[in-house]
């Protein structure tokens, strides 16, 4: 990111060598705008990476749990939130999944446990 900012800065300096004051002001404004946008893109990329890492950590913890055998759980992340969706076989599995997710991500992250109990057809007699 710093490399890109440096290149933009050098290009602007080269263009400004023979420019009037008004043109120079516009170029400075454009440079500041590009720097700001570059910073925002970097921050968003960092946030996306953190969310992806958080999702992967929770998925790994859930997949490693034998208590969740037979459950189908989908994990997504947002800033400060992890969402669990899918189905579980028992209420205990829902509780275990929520607790594992919370233990994995720690404090400051809300777990939204939208897991549903799977409705199994009654056995025919």
3-state secondary structure of 18: coil
- pLDDT, tens digit, 9 for 90 and up, residues 52-80: 788 899 999 999 999 999 999 999 998 88
pLDDT score for 1: 56
In 10 A of CB 105, how many CB atoms? 20
Whether 13 shows a pLDDT value over 70: the answer reads no
Q: Does the predicted TM-score (pTM) go above 0.75? A: no
Region 92-103 average pLDDT: 96
Reduced to 3 states (helix: H, G, I; strand: E, B; else coil), residue 106 is coil
User: Are the C-beta atoms of residues 86 and 74 closer than 8 Å to each other?
Assistant: yes
Predicted local confidence at residue 124, as pLDDT: 47
């Amino acid at each position: 990111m710093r490399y890109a900012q440096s290149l933009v800065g050098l290009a602007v300096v080269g263009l400004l060598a023979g420019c009037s004051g008004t043109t120079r002001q516009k170029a400075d404004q454009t440079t500041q705008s590009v720097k700001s946008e570059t910073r925002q893109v970097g921050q968003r990329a960092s946030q996306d990476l953190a969310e992806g890492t958080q999702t992967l950590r929770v998925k790994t913890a859930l997949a490693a749990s034998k208590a969740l055998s037979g459950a189908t759980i989908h994990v997504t992340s947002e800033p400060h939130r992890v969402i669990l969706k899918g189905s579980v076989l028992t209420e205990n599995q829902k509780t275990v999944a929520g607790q594992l997710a919370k233990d994995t991500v720690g404090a400051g992250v809300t777990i939204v446990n939208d897991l549903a109990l799977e409705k199994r057809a009654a056995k025919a007699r």
